[in-house]
Amino acid sequence: MKYTGISAQKTRLVINEIRGRRAEEALTILSYMPQSAARVVSKTVKSALANAVENFGYDAKDMVITKIYADDAPIRKWRRFGARGRFKPWQRRSSHITVVLEERPA
């Protein structure tokens, strides 16, 4: 998923919990996580799982998350004007999430 509204640093905290797990188990874990990044990561894993099943004919129960990572996306910068003629720079960070699944029969 590209250009998520959550920073890569916050997304990596969620991603590190599900790396190497079965896709269905990872979705269960993500559904109970309180972080807002968990919803975005869950959506990305569901999309990757659906692509593997529909496009390649894999079984959803055998899919394992082999690689998952979050990279920095462009930072949206703007400024707010402050006291005494100064301005305060603001940054809104975003990230790109990549999921790679592999079939490993149980």
Q: What is the pTM of this model?
A: 0.89
Residue 106, pLDDT > 90, answer: no
pLDDT at 27: 97
pLDDT at 4: 95
pLDDT at 90: 95
Give the CATH architecture of domain 8-103: Alpha-Beta Complex (3.90)
In percent, the amount of the chain with pLDDT more than 70 equals 99
Ranges assigned E (strand) in the chain: 63-72, 76-81, 87-92, 95-103
Rounded average pLDDT over 1-13: 96
CB 63, CB 49: distance < 8 Å: yes
CA dist., res. 89 & res. 75, Å (int): 12
Rounded average pLDDT over 72-82: 95
| Confidence grade of residue 11 (pLDDT, cut at 50, 70, 90) | very high
pLDDT at 105: 83
